[in-house]
Amino acid sequence: MRVNIPLIGPTYTNRSVQVGNQHTQNFYIEANQQGEAAALMPFPGLSLFATAGSSQARGMAIYNDSLYTVNGNLLYKIALNGTVSTVGTIAGGGNVVMVSDGTNLIITTGFSKPYKYDGTTLTQGTDADLPNASTVTHMNQRVIYDQADGIAFADLDDPLTVNSANVLLTNTRADSLQAVISFKQQIFAFGTDTIEPSYFTGTGTPPYARVNNGVQEIGTSSPYSIATNKDFIYFLGTDRRVYRMQGFNSQPIDNPAIGQALQEYSDVSDAYGRCMSFDGQNWYLLSFPTANRTWLFNEGSGLWTSLAYGTDDSQHLIHDYVYIYDKHLVTDRRNGNIYELGFDSFTDNGDVIQRQRVTQNIDSRILGGEPGKMLYMNRLELEFETGVSEVTSEATIIMQYSDDDGRSWSQEQWASIGTQGDYTKRVQWFGFERFYKRKFRFTMTDPVKWVFIRLIADVEVGLD
């Protein structure tokens, strides 16, 4: 009989491979109008836009309609045409947070006094009450910093001066403040054990007050994992679960398999998160430098996949993201390269993108029969969309299968998908041995548009 084999799915690798061992790399899952997972879409590739320095990326922001980035110990300005100019020196080598207050670009490093750039001069603060903040935000004409015991509000006329009276203590718990952000006219102070929201009162010193019934009993030890879009705050909790917050409610959006993976990482404090909006899709990218892994959450489908660089499943290149100059621009975590993110790019700046899908196990129960029955497969057919390519020669796809939950794999079986201009394609494989359960692995490295649609097989259920 001809049956549809479950093809579209997330990355879901359990400690027990029998429970779950699916893998989806360098794809995202697109949902249809009914909210159902409909296709595996290729995550965009990278093409070079500019190069600002050669050291580790630290942060990127928009100020006065221009792009700025900190790379190594230098602040750079990148113009519309990709021209790079050096602005000045920023101490240190770790992540920075940058925000515009409408007049200045404010930069925090986490271990030194913050900086401001007014379009002409780069200045580091010297005020004794100005904290060595890790994060900075802006709301109601005030620049706002984190400090160990509370939220520090800068003076209205000087973002590098803080009056000690203008500090709102975060004392629900005796935890250390990690980050401060503004979202929908609220200030959120992220500690290691709590999240305390505050609102603008208009009076007092400071003119803000805590929303007591909005305090969340979850915090973060990964301050740079916090990211926002127009609807949600995303962050990695101290308990190593991934959360999404709307209003004053935080809900976990991970799954047990992701949770198990994160529990096994030796260090997650250096994790960083980025919200990206692209082609009608909202994504939350969460990258782990120490663990050398990157995860991608698609808001539309509510499912997670993996992103990777090269062919060894290592951490993706993206460090920062902004939309400016009618381009989606990202920094390279390793160096000063700034890339344009695009669906018409099928490499990462010329380097191979390996896309892979490992399906769930197929057995007689999934096919609607009694469990534990022998299956006989005569033909396997993969339907996908391609046709756009950076090469003129024929591209290929590799199929393998496993009958032991992915512990070992069959020999590679290669199939040609044709040349550029061939669109909806069906590739077939024949001559399968019988099995009780089986999963399939599809691997692609050619610079081609890959959209997986469905997997079909001719299968007969045996009597034994």
Q: How many whole angstroms separate alpha carbon 357 and alpha carbon 402?
A: 13
Could you give the 3-state DSSP secondary structure of residue 213? helix
Burial of 207 per CB tally in 10 Å (0-12, 13-18, 19+): middle
pLDDT at 186: 93
The tens-digit pLDDT sequence of the chain (464 residues) is: 888 888 998 987 655 445 557 899 999 998 776 667 788 999 999 999 999 999 999 999 999 999 999 999 999 999 999 999 999 999 988 999 999 999 999 999 999 999 999 999 999 999 999 999 999 999 988 999 999 889 999 999 899 999 988 888 877 777 889 999 999 999 999 999 999 999 999 888 888 999 988 899 999 999 999 999 999 999 999 999 999 999 888 999 998 888 888 999 999 999 999 999 988 889 999 999 999 999 999 998 899 999 999 998 899 999 999 999 999 999 999 999 999 999 889 999 999 999 999 998 888 887 777 888 899 999 999 988 876 555 556 788 999 999 999 999 999 999 887 655 555 678 899 988 899 999 999 999 999 888 888 999 998 888 77
pLDDT at 464: 72
Strands (E), 109-194: 115-117, 122-124, 136-139, 142-147, 150-155, 158-169, 177-183, 186-191
Asked if residue 98 lies in contact with residue 70, where contact means CB atoms within 8 angstroms, the answer is yes
Judging by DSSP bridges, how do beta strands 97-100 and 177-183 pair with one another? Answer: unpaired
Asked if residue 314 lies in contact with residue 351, where contact means CB atoms within 8 angstroms, the answer is no
Strands (E), 229-315: 233-236, 242-246, 249-252, 272-278, 281-288, 293-298, 303-307
Query: Domains, the chain, ranges and CATH?
Result: 2-26+356-461 (2.60.120), 45-352 (2.130.10.10)
pLDDT at 364: 87
Q: How many whole angstroms separate alpha carbon 310 and alpha carbon 25?
A: 11
Query: Up-side HSE of residue 380: CA atoms within 13 Å toward CB?
Result: 24
Q: Phi and psi (nearest 5°) for 259?
A: -60, -45
> DSSP letter at 27?
E
Asked if residue 222 lies in contact with residue 286, where contact means CB atoms within 8 angstroms, the answer is no
Query: Up-side HSE of residue 129: CA atoms within 13 Å toward CB?
Result: 16
Burial of 215 per CB tally in 10 Å (0-12, 13-18, 19+): middle
Indicate the pTM of the whole model.
0.92
Report in angstroms the alpha-carbon separations of 232 from 177, 184, 196, 227.
21, 10, 16, 8
pLDDT at 309: 96
Asked if residue 176 lies in contact with residue 227, where contact means CB atoms within 8 angstroms, the answer is no
In the chain, the N- to C-terminal Cα span, in Å, equals: 17
The candidate with the shortest Cα–Cα distance to 133, out of 156, 120, 157, 116, is 116
> DSSP letter at 119?
S
The candidate with the shortest Cα–Cα distance to 240, out of 224, 226, 254, 228, is 254
pLDDT at 122: 97
The structure tokens listed for 228 are 């926002």
